[in-house]
Amino acid sequence: MSECKSSQIESSQIGPHKNLVKLVHKYQQSCMQDSIPKHAYSAFEIANQFVAGDTVVLDSGCGTAESSYRLAKQFPDTKVIAIDKSIIRLQRSHTHGQQPENLLLLQADCIHMWRLIQQAQWEIQKHCLFYPNPWPKPGHLQRRWHGHPIFPTLVALGGVLIMRTNWKIYAQEFAQALGIILERPVAIAALSLNDAVTPFERKYLHSEHSLYEVIAELD
Ligand SMILES: C[S@@+](CC[C@H](N)C(=O)[O-])C[C@H]1O[C@@H](n2cnc3c(N)ncnc32)[C@H](O)[C@@H]1O
């Protein structure tokens, strides 16, 4: 990781998007109908065999899987499934040492995997979403996880959901959207860390960005 400081997220949004509540209600009432591509079924089948009915920790959008390696060591009795659509990022995971036996790296789109995981009723213990792409333009609301039709599926997967971001508005929106589905208030917390668990977290700490976390028990 370079020593350059990363700039703060810039957006014309000054608070949570005005269309968020309407959008979450809309997606809550309809399930995704888009077909799932064949290659996604193949990737899921590999993961499903690896899980073999055990409890799962998901690291969605894991990037180079640094956090996934840590999770696998922290939860030796679970299967850790690290998902990222970028093969280039996943290939960099070899720099973290020997891959733990309870860790599977999966090149796949979370949108397809989460639907298949929900259908297969995996038992999710913990679900990490570390530094999802913020999509800071107001017109990109539906690309943020909480503004996407997949959001109710993500919540339905269960477990303890942990989302981290360096954009306060993303955390506020994520908590607001979760609160709508869970029908209870969900808080955001300011993170104070000495040690980074992912490359993006390290970059943001080095750049002295404020970091935010949303944690919710979904079961
Ligand atoms: C900002 S990076 C954060 C990576 C890592 N969690 C970290 O903190 O270093 C976001 C990651 O999400 C992945 N990603 C974005 N959309 C995805 C999707 N629909 N399915 C799988 N991975 C996705 C990207 O490829 C990228 O690696």
Domain that holds residue 62: 20-28+37-217
- Which residue's CA is the nearest one to ligand 1's atom 20? 109
Whether 203 shows a pLDDT value over 50: the answer reads yes
Residue 175, CA distances (Å) to 26, 45, 125, 142, 163 in order:
17, 32, 20, 16, 9
Which residues, judged by CB distance below 6 Å to any ligand atom, belong to the binding site of ligand 1?
61-63, 83-86, 89, 109-111, 130-133, 198-201
Check: CB of residue 107 under 8 Å from CB of residue 43.
yes
Say how many Å lie between the CA of residue 91 and the centre of ligand 1.
14
- Count of structural domains within the chain: 1
Write down how long the chain is: 219
The pick from 133, 148, 163, 165 for probing ligand 1's pocket by mutation, whose C-beta has the most ligand atoms within 8 angstroms, reads 133
Q: What is the pLDDT of residue 29?
A: 93
Domain for residue 197, yes or no?
yes
Domain for residue 8, yes or no?
no
Residues 144, 150, 155, 158: is their CA dihedral positive or negative? negative
pTM: 0.97
Task: Report the alpha-carbon angle 146-187-60, nearest 5.
Answer: 40
Confidence of residue 4 (pLDDT cuts 50, 70, 90): confident
Domain for residue 142, yes or no?
yes
The Cα–Cα gap between 186 and 149 comes to 20
Domain for residue 184, yes or no?
yes
- Report residue 204 as tokens: 């943001």
Say how many Å lie between the CA of residue 214 and the centre of ligand 1.
17
Domain for residue 112, yes or no?
yes
The helix/strand/coil state of 173 is: helix
Confidence of residue 1 (pLDDT cuts 50, 70, 90): very low
Say how many Å lie between the CA of residue 84 and the centre of ligand 1.
6
CATH number at residue 44: 3.40.50.150
Q: What is the pLDDT of residue 75?
A: 98
Q: Which atom of ligand 1 is nearest to the CA of 61?
A: 12
- Report residue 26 as tokens: 């809309």
- Helix (H) or strand (E) holding 126, with range, is strand 123-130
The pick from 36, 57, 86 for probing ligand 1's pocket by mutation, whose C-beta has the most ligand atoms within 8 angstroms, reads 86
Say how many Å lie between the CA of residue 183 and the centre of ligand 1.
28
The Cα–Cα gap between 30 and 4 comes to 44
- Which residue's CA is the nearest one to ligand 1's atom 24? 61
Domain for residue 6, yes or no?
no
Domain for residue 126, yes or no?
yes
The percentage of the chain sitting over the pLDDT mark of 90, rounded to a whole number, equals 94
Domain for residue 41, yes or no?
yes
- In tens, the pLDDT along 107-117 reads 999 999 999 99
Say how many Å lie between the CA of residue 198 and the centre of ligand 1.
11
- In tens, the pLDDT along 72-91 reads 999 999 999 999 999 999 99
